[in-house]
Structure 1
Amino acid sequence: SGNKDAYSYFRREGKENLRAIAQSAFDMLISRFNPIVMEGAGSISELNLREGDIVNMSMARYADAKVILVADIDRGGVFASVYGSIMLQTPEDRKRIKGIIINKFRGDLRLFDEGRKIMEEICGVPVLGVVPMATHIHIDEEDSVALGKKEYHALTDKINVAVVLLKHISNFTDFNVLERHPQVNLFYTNTPQDLASADIVILPGSKNTLDDLLEMRKSGMTKAIITARQNGKTIIGICGGYQMMGELVRDPYGIEGSIETLPGLGLLPTKTEMYSEKTTRQVEFRFMDDNRKCVGYEIHMGRTSSDKPFLTFADGTYEGCMVDAKCFGSYVHGILDNQAVIDFILKPYVKDAAQTTFDADTFKNRQYDLLAEWLREHIDIPQIYKILENND
């Protein structure tokens, strides 16, 4: 279906093929799983976008789904938001809304007891729970908006990891596990001077490799990365970042836009060519000679030549390019979620080897356990089960 800017995507014309793809994906899932949880995107009451909407109430109608409206009280105006969102629906869609959850509440929950009753009275829909802000739980952020809170801030007693803040950054959750490591200080930056204090520089994935590569050249970021490499820093590229680290990126078919060819950073002996066919798959691999099982996934539209691979997939094929322990790249997202990889990249910088152990899987699973406990405490889960079981 291709890439679209926001204006093109939200126009009504040409949406039916996209809608058919989404509906086909749902049909495949419903044939295998029950129940299906569908997450909305944005507001359900954008009247000017409703006819062209693929998600939200449009998808709820197709799936004949029960809808639970989740409101962010931290933004303010929660009564107007909830009431307006419900009352602006068509009568048919309004009947689908079976409950309300108030999220991100701050302060004493008892202060909202009356507000809960008022909301149920004016909306005619039960409030299933009021969930307090959970600052003690650390799970992946929903989108890149959160990156603005992780600006440059180097620390002398930590291993400083700089992630290049690309204009079209993608898959930013690749760095969440590394960010939680007790010896790591991870920050995002698009300022060349900030790389001077970094021990490790990571080029992340991009939704438009060539455009981001051009922007880095204009801003001086490319020169700063090359200088960091010359000064003995570790440089790692993931997916689009891996493509940028090579000698050349070509887009002869205009997959990403009007830029046909750009030289890369020249840090890896690779060349990349863009193709319309997208690679999407989950992978198991071995990192170099480490026998620990590693996992990740690929989602990219380019092919990169390499005669220095360092990952061995479960099917015996190879991937990535490594010129030495401080300069390598790979298409595999989630590569930094694996302990074998984290141990390898931090090894040159650790001051106390006894402190390097960090069980990422245990940490991540514990966070989701905490989230489940938090939601069970503050939401009427039995009532949600009844809503699922009710055929009305």
Structure 2
Amino acid sequence: MAGAVMIQGTSSDSGKSTLVGALCRLALRRGLTVAPFKPQNMSLNSAVTVDGGEIGRAQAWQALAAGIAPEIDMNPVLLKPNSDIGAQVIIHGHAIGNYNARAYHDYKPTALKAVLASFGRLQARMDAVIVEGAGSPAEVNLRANDIANMGFAEAADCPVILVADIDRGGVFAQIIGTLACLSEPERQRVKGIIINKFRGDVTLLQPGIDWVEQRVGKRVLGVVPFVPGLWLDGEDMLPAARRSVATQANALRVVVPALPRISNHTDFDPLRAHPQVDFCYVRAGEPIPPADLVILPGSKSVQRDLAWLRANGWDDYLLRHLRYQGKVMGICGGMQMLGQTLLDPLGLESDTPSTPGLGLLDYVTTLEPEKQLVNVSGKLATGDAAVHGYEIHMGVTRGPALDQPALWLGERPEGALSADGQIMATYLHGLFDAPDACAALLQWAGLSGAERIDHDARREDSINKLADAVAASVDLDAIWQIMG
């Protein structure tokens, strides 16, 4: 059976995902077959696997770091929140229904069986499995029936390394407090500590390291520096910097509404990093700035987010934007919003069976139980630029606007392009990842001389930069020994 270690964090965003990705790449360099694994993930950023399922986006890029294709066993339980107290539950890549928090809590013992089955399959054919926890094991209110942190570690008999984020401040309190919240067997399972996102002279940190090691009886395995400029797919939260600053003059202004239930915002990472694009997320109550291109993003609750758009004045803004010859794009849920009507006869996302759309394209979308999950490739209808991406949606869209498609996926037309060329709609996520497609779409939106930026190569460079930083700052021999 494969060696394994679980990376748990003192908090969300402590660096668990990046550390798992770095260790996957370092194990690959060592000549090992390795896979990432996250028992339970809560995220609206997801990816389609080679075996036709859906997993968290972070596990997809971790698989790339490991040198293998993403598959459903890497994230057997995925929760996609569709309200403040409920989520769509995805087991082994496929949705089984919507659960409120209490119902899902009761379902967890069944979910644990799926988790252990996936973990067993990976262990049986890999040399190493690097496991990522979720949130923090110190969330004592969630400890009963836990499958995301210590509950999994205990069931799978997996050693744990605790990572703490010094950039938040109070790193030693994070470590002491987290361990104090664990039971004695759980504390014994923690074999070491890593301090993450450090800036400055590490020798000045040493007295604190000595103190915490003596206090908890566990070794600090390393202090990982803050690594700026990484472009790795975010697990869930919107980027802290809502606006990019273009490095070139006459940049194309791109605006995206920060929908409350925005999904797959990683679609926009290539635009945020593009030197000729001034990119901006706009949150509730903020003034909507002038733009060359407005993109309506994906959504896990299209009707609710459409109501949010109207409440924040986006419907009037879009009409004014189009009158002044601006461009509009809708991706997935954003595509559905652009149509005449959104129908939900089965109540899959809402109690409202019919919701008026923005009426900018002539089609109607009906939500159906079967979710479309497919990786695709093709070309743009304008310019023939090669494109690749993935579809994750429950809606089926029909109407005359689709007679003028935005894309061709082989012989299949996809999406819509308005007769005047101002509005584009598509179900395709990852549209801007392909360098030629990104350049062509920016040119369509009004940018002359758009540079060709290879986002996949930039992600690969970020993985290697991260792995180098971890290798230089962490006792890898100790980690391999912990893994067995």
CA contact (8 A) 1:238 1:329 kept: yes
Residue 352 to residue 219, structure 1, CA distance change in 2 (3 Å): closer
Query: Which residue type is aligned with residue 340 of structure 1?
Result: D
Q: CA deviation at 1:291?
A: 5.7
CA contact (8 A) 2:254 2:293 kept: yes
- Aligned counterpart, 1:340: 436
Residue 352 to residue 334, structure 1, CA distance change in 2 (3 Å): closer
Correspondences of 1:209-228 after superposition (within 5 Å): 209-228=302-321
Deviates more, 1:285-294 or 1:355-364: 285-294
Q: CA deviation at 1:216?
A: 1.4
- Aligned counterpart, 1:361: 456
- Asked if 1:309 corresponds to 2:369, the answer is no
Query: Which residue type is aligned with residue 291 of structure 2?
Result: A
- Aligned counterpart, 1:143: 236
Residue 191 to residue 16, structure 1, CA distance change in 2 (3 Å): closer
Query: Which residue type is aligned with residue 342 of structure 1?
Result: C
- Asked if 1:175 corresponds to 2:262, the answer is no
Residue 136 to residue 71, structure 1, CA distance change in 2 (3 Å): same
CA distance in 1, matches of 2:115, 2:364: 34
Residue 151 to residue 99, structure 1, CA distance change in 2 (3 Å): same
Deviates more, 1:291-300 or 1:339-348: 291-300
Q: CA deviation at 1:223?
A: 1.9
Residue 349 to residue 292, structure 1, CA distance change in 2 (3 Å): closer
Query: Which residue type is aligned with residue 329 of structure 1?
Result: A
Q: CA deviation at 1:176?
A: 0.5
- Aligned counterpart, 2:282: 189
Residue 159 to residue 49, structure 1, CA distance change in 2 (3 Å): same
Q: CA deviation at 1:199?
A: 0.3
Residue 60 to residue 129, structure 1, CA distance change in 2 (3 Å): same
Residue 162 to residue 318, structure 1, CA distance change in 2 (3 Å): same
Q: CA deviation at 1:21?
A: 3.9
- Aligned counterpart, 2:214: 121
Q: CA deviation at 1:207?
A: 1.1
- Asked if 1:297 corresponds to 2:393, the answer is no
- Aligned counterpart, 1:386: 481
Deviates more, 1:279-288 or 1:245-254: 279-288
- Aligned counterpart, 2:50: none
> Residue 332 of structure 1: SS of its match in structure 2?
coil
CA contact (8 A) 1:150 1:187 kept: yes
CA contact (8 A) 1:270 1:304 kept: yes
CA distance in 1, matches of 2:474, 2:265: 30
Deviates more, 1:282-291 or 1:233-242: 282-291
Query: Which residue type is aligned with residue 347 of structure 1?
Result: Q
> Residue 175 of structure 1: SS of its match in structure 2?
helix
- Structure with more relative contact order (C-alpha pairs < 8 Å, separation 6 or more): 2
Query: Which residue type is aligned with residue 470 of structure 2?
Result: L
- Asked if 1:320 corresponds to 2:320, the answer is no
Q: CA deviation at 1:36?
A: 2.1
CA distance in 1, matches of 2:403, 2:447: 34
- Aligned counterpart, 2:63: none
- Asked if 1:200 corresponds to 2:296, the answer is no
Q: CA deviation at 1:359?
A: 2.4
Correspondences of 1:226-241 after superposition (within 5 Å): 226-241=319-334
> Residue 403 of structure 2: SS of its match in structure 1?
coil
Residues 252-297 of structure 1: CA distance to partner in whole angstroms, max 9, x if unpaired? 1111121221111122222111122222232223222656543212
- Aligned counterpart, 2:101: 9
Query: Which residue type is aligned with residue 233 of structure 1?
Result: G
- Aligned counterpart, 2:469: 374
CA contact (8 A) 2:406 2:425 kept: no
Q: CA deviation at 1:76?
A: 2.2
Q: CA deviation at 1:34?
A: 4.0
Query: Which residue type is aligned with residue 254 of structure 1?
Result: G
Residues 146-180 of structure 1: CA distance to partner in whole angstroms, max 9, x if unpaired? 35x31598997311000111111111111001111
> Residue 37 of structure 1: SS of its match in structure 2?
strand
CA distance in 2, matches of 1:4, 1:233: 33
- Aligned counterpart, 1:49: 142
Q: Determine which structure has the larger strand proportion and give its number.
A: 2
CA contact (8 A) 1:196 1:228 kept: no
Residue 97 to residue 290, structure 1, CA distance change in 2 (3 Å): farther
- Aligned counterpart, 1:72: 165
Q: CA deviation at 1:28?
A: 4.4
Structure 2 alignment gaps of length 5 or more: 1-78, 87-99
- Aligned counterpart, 2:48: none
Structure 1 alignment gaps of length 5 or more: none
- Aligned counterpart, 1:160: 253
Deviates more, 1:57-66 or 1:26-35: 26-35
Residues 322-357 of structure 1: CA distance to partner in whole angstroms, max 9, x if unpaired? 22543111111111112232122221566652x623
CA contact (8 A) 2:244 2:273 kept: no
Query: Which residue type is aligned with residue 245 of structure 1?
Result: L
- Aligned counterpart, 2:381: 288
Q: CA deviation at 1:42?
A: 1.2
CA contact (8 A) 2:434 2:454 kept: no
Deviates more, 1:50-59 or 1:359-368: 359-368
CA distance in 2, matches of 1:251, 1:32: 43
Query: Which residue type is aligned with residue 184 of structure 1?
Result: V
CA distance in 1, matches of 2:376, 2:124: 25
- Aligned counterpart, 1:36: 129
CA contact (8 A) 2:164 2:196 kept: yes
CA contact (8 A) 2:192 2:220 kept: yes
1:83 to 169, 176, 180: 176
CA distance in 1, matches of 2:320, 2:386: 34
Residues 98-156 of structure 1: CA distance to partner in whole angstroms, max 9, x if unpaired? 22110111221111122222222222222111012222433333432435x31598997
Residue 92 to residue 142, structure 1, CA distance change in 2 (3 Å): same
Task: State how many pairs are aligned.
Answer: 386
CA contact (8 A) 2:377 2:387 kept: yes
CA distance in 2, matches of 1:128, 1:62: 25
